[in-house]
């Protein structure tokens, strides 16, 4: 009986692992809302922004379309920052707009992440911050919570418990 069940269990395990790999390797698209209330410390401008992101975990390429309305002044800087949790700040990692140029809405771009950046990004440890002339430390911010972050927690719950995420 055991000899019959062992091959069946192995086949089921291979199918499950293949499905998990496909789920992790498919590009994911999602939106990140940005607001002044997410800034550290919070600010309350009339403006808001949205980042439409697509992330491919195989190539580690992230693409973005950044749209905004009613900001208090011209954008001076827009960047990914991290690693950082929602109530914390982190260093800039990738510029979303070209330095010194005029920034229209929408603004598009892409970047290839390093392996460490890709892990942080997928784990929800990055945020987007937009600075303006009136708010040089940040007018709107949005935490990047990828669909991959929930997959990572389900696959490795002990990793997130150690880091205080549960």
pLDDT band at 37 (very low <50, low <70, confident <90, very high): very high
| Structural domain boundaries, residue 156 | 25-162
| pTM greater than 0.85 (yes/no) | no
Choice between 49 and 9, residue whose per-residue pLDDT is larger: 49
Classify residue 9: in a domain, yes or no.
no
Classify residue 99: in a domain, yes or no.
yes
Amino acid 21: pLDDT: 47
Q: Which among 100, 93, 135, 98 is positioned nearest to 116, based on CA atoms?
A: 93
Classify residue 98: in a domain, yes or no.
yes
DSSP label at residue 136: T
Cα Rg of the chain, angstroms: 19
Classify residue 7: in a domain, yes or no.
no
Classify residue 79: in a domain, yes or no.
yes
Domain at 76, CATH number: 2.60.40
Q: Is 127 left (phi over 0), alpha (psi -120 to 50) or beta?
A: beta
Choice between 22 and 80, residue whose per-residue pLDDT is larger: 80
Classify residue 141: in a domain, yes or no.
yes
In this prediction, residues 139-154 reach a mean pLDDT of 75
Classify residue 20: in a domain, yes or no.
no
In degrees rounded to 5, what are phi and psi of residue 113?
-85, 150
The number of domains in the chain is 1
Provide the residue count of the chain: 166
Classify residue 17: in a domain, yes or no.
no
DSSP assignment of 63-126, as one string? EEEEEEES-SS-EEEEEEE-S--TTS---EEEESS-TTS---SSEEEEEEPPHHHHHHHHTT-E
Amino acid 98: pLDDT: 75
């Amino acid at each position: 009986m055991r000899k019959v069940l062992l091959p069946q269990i192995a086949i089921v395990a291979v199918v499950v692992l293949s499905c998990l790999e496909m789920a992790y390797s498919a590009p994911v698209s999602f939106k990140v809302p940005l607001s002044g209330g997410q800034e550290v410390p919070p600010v309350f401008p009339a403006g808001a922004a949205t980042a439409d992101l697509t992330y491919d975990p195989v190539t580690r390429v992230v693409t973005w379309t950044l749209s905004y309305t009613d900001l208090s002044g011209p954008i001076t800087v827009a960047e990914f920052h991290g690693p950082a949790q929602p109530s914390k700040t982190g260093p800039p990692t990738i510029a979303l707009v070209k330095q010194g140029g005029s920034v229209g809405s929408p603004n598009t771009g892409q970047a290839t992440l390093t392996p460490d950046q890709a892990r942080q990004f997928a784990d929800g440890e990055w945020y987007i911050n937009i600075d303006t002339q009136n708010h040089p430390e940040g007018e709107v911010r949005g935490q990047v919570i990828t669909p991959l972050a929930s997959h990572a927690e389900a696959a490795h719950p002990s990793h997130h418990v150690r880091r205080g995420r549960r």
